[in-house]
């Protein structure tokens, strides 16, 4: 059983000098970066990840969110965001949408490397490099830390304008990513469940389909802390839009460092 109550603090009438001193001390504290400024700086690095085919309508189908790293031509996202197989009959290719001015432009993309154990993937895109985000050291990430994440919730239904959610890291907890179904619980997946646990960030902010692959970032510096991966669903998947759980998960961004070293323009 839990309970909550409001606590009200009042300054006694006889202590106006204390109030003035306290106000002066608060104004002397170092100012934190403004979240709106951080969002403005990050948005040019965010892309829509999907597939493209001139033989269908609409030609571009969104699958998730991604963001620029490394030399600005490398895009990080979730492995599950990448189509398991492209439709050759439809001449389907990987692609991203990049914001340019007041509109969006399509860029061709190619898969560079994946990490199925941590549900991560890196793409390389054509065209000019995007502003690359920096990765924050995992040693500087703590429970209770204020965070935000940005992406394209509910796919193209709300349009392709990046949306930001705000919260804290409520827990850093060991986890093994589930296999697609029980038939896959053999061999490597079983070994991972037994010994391959790694820490994942549990958040008290709500993510939706379309947020997958988006960056979880430090609100003060804009450094990437993690990659949005999944959301806890109460009831059916369809009910999450009406009754979201408010519990989401992100993969620590430190796992991207090895992938970046393995990706190269010539792969």
Count how many residues are written for the chain.
Answer: 267
Give tens-digit pLDDT for 55-114. 999 999 999 999 999 999 999 999 999 978 899 999 999 999 999 888 899 999 999 999
Judge contact between 120 and 259, C-beta under 8 A.
yes
Enumerate residues 6+ apart whose C-beta is below 8 A from 258: 115
**CATH top-level class for 138-260?**
mainly beta
Q: Kindly state the DSSP code that residue 73 receives in the 8-state scheme.
A: T
User: What Cα–Cα distance (Å) separates residue 93 from each residue in 40, 51, 96?
Assistant: 30, 5, 10
Q: What residues of the chain score a pLDDT lower than 50? A: 1-32, 180-186, 194-195, 232-241, 243-245, 267
Q: How far apart are CA 164 and CA 217, in angstroms?
A: 11
Alpha helices of 54-166 — where are they, by DSSP H? none
Domains 37-132 and 138-260 share a fold: yes
181: left (phi over 0), alpha (psi -120 to 50) or beta: beta
- Please give the pLDDT value at position 61: 93
Backbone angles phi, psi at 151, to 5 degrees: 180, -155
- Please give the pLDDT value at position 5: 33
At the second CATH level, the architecture of 37-132 is Beta Barrel (2.40)
This prediction's pTM: 0.77
- What ranges do the domains of the chain cover? 37-132, 138-260
- Please give the pLDDT value at position 246: 53
């Amino acid at each position: 059983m839990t309970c909550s109550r409001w606590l009200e603090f009042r300054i006694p009438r006889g202590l106006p000098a204390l109030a003035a001193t306290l106000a002066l001390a608060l104004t002397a504290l170092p100012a934190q970066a403004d979240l709106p400024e951080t969002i403005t700086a990050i948005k040019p690095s965010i892309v829509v990840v999907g597939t493209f085919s001139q033989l269908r309508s609409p030609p571009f189908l969104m699958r998730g969110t991604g963001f620029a790293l490394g030399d600005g031509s490398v895009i990080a996202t979730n492995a599950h965001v990448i189509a398991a197989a492209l439709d050759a009959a439809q001449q389907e290719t990987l692609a991203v949408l990049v914001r340019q001015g007041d509109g969006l432009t399509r860029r061709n993309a190619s898969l560079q490397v994946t990490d199925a154990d941590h549900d991560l993937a890196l793409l390389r895109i054509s065209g000019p490099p995007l502003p690359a985000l920096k990765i924050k050291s995992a040693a500087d990430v703590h429970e209770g830390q204020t965070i935000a994440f940005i992406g394209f919730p509910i796919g193209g239904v709300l349009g392709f304008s990046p949306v930001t959610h705000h919260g804290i890291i409520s827990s850093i907890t060991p986890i093994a990513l589930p296999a697609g179904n029980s038939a896959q619980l053999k061999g490597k997946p079983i070994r991972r469940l037994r010994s391959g646990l790694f820490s994942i960030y549990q958040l008290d902010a709500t993510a939706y389909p379309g947020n997958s692959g988006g960056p979880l970032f430090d609100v003060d510096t804009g450094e990437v802390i993690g990659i949005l991966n999944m959301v806890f669903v109460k009831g059916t998947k369809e009910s999450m839009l009406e009754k979201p759980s408010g519990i989401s998960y992100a993969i620590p961004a430190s796992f991207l460092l090895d992938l970046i070293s393995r990706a190269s323009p010539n792969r």
